Amino acid sequence: MARARIATAWLGGCSGCHMSVLDLDEALVELAPAIEIVYGPLVDAKEYPENVDVALIEGAVAAEEHQHLLKKIRQNTRVLVALGDCAVTSNVPGMRNLVGREPALKRAYFELTAAQPQIPGEVVTPLVKTVHPLHTEVPVDVFVPGCPPSPKRILYVLSELLAGRMPKLEGEMVKFG
């Protein structure tokens, strides 16, 4: 039996959802024979691959780079999972929308620096006008709320998808925050 090709990506967020994936602990060892991780922060892949079965995407769309990567992920992935409150609702990164892109950049790169105040254009990708959740850019197949989602919730979603079923998040499984 072929192993499922799994990818993860980290957009505008804190990496807490990836930490919850790592907190699967022994369950990761149990999943290992059934999966191949082909892209993500823990894999040395430079380009998003084709024919990915499941992509777990953390974070909100906060920068142009996120838009481009998210569209590439959607084109090359069978099941796209919005992992965590930032991906589902834009959560904390979306707070930038209250002040706007330019005032946020000014505060971070001019007011809070003592040396060489400038917006680092070569290092920081241009920001989108407003931060938004994944489903406003591309179709999302599964929404997994939580900040971060619990390892139990992530394991349930992965197990269901690996079994060929769409997960049904109910009760405690749909809790935000």
Q: What is the pLDDT along the chain (177 residues), one digit of tens a residue?
A: 589 999 999 999 999 999 999 999 999 999 999 999 999 998 989 999 999 999 999 999 999 999 999 999 999 999 999 999 999 999 999 999 999 999 999 998 899 988 888 887 777 789 999 999 999 999 999 999 999 999 999 999 999 999 999 999 877 666 676
Q: What is the pLDDT of residue 123?
A: 75
- Look at residue 85 and tell me if it is in a domain: yes
Q: What is the pLDDT of residue 131?
A: 98
- Look at residue 50 and tell me if it is in a domain: yes
- Look at residue 140 and tell me if it is in a domain: yes
Report yes or no: 33 and 3 within 8 Å, Cβ to Cβ: yes
* Structural domain for 47, as ranges: 4-96+129-171
User: Residue 49: is the preceding peptide bond cis (ω within 30°)?
Assistant: no
CA–CA gap between residue 107 and residue 104 (Å, rounded):
5
- Look at residue 82 and tell me if it is in a domain: yes
- Look at residue 176 and tell me if it is in a domain: no
CA–CA gap between residue 140 and residue 61 (Å, rounded):
13
- Look at residue 103 and tell me if it is in a domain: no
CA–CA gap between residue 5 and residue 26 (Å, rounded):
20
**Spatial CA neighbour of 85 closest among 133, 152, 41, 18:** 133
C-alpha 29 chain-centroid distance: 22
Residue 81, token pair as written in the block: 């999972």
Residue 45, token pair as written in the block: 């892949």
Q: What is the DSSP string of 96-140?
A: GGGT-HHHHHHIIIIIT-SS-----TTTSPPEEEEEE-GGGTS--
Report yes or no: 65 and 71 within 8 Å, Cβ to Cβ: no
Tokens 């917006």 map to which residue?
119
User: Residue 148: is the preceding peptide bond cis (ω within 30°)?
Assistant: yes
CA–CA gap between residue 57 and residue 145 (Å, rounded):
12
- Look at residue 37 and tell me if it is in a domain: yes
Domain count, the chain: 1
Report yes or no: 146 and 19 within 8 Å, Cβ to Cβ: no
What CATH number is associated with residue 167?
3.40.50.700
- Look at residue 43 and tell me if it is in a domain: yes
Give Cα separations from 34 to 15, 30, 90 (angstroms).
Answer: 24, 8, 31
> pTM for the complete prediction?
0.92
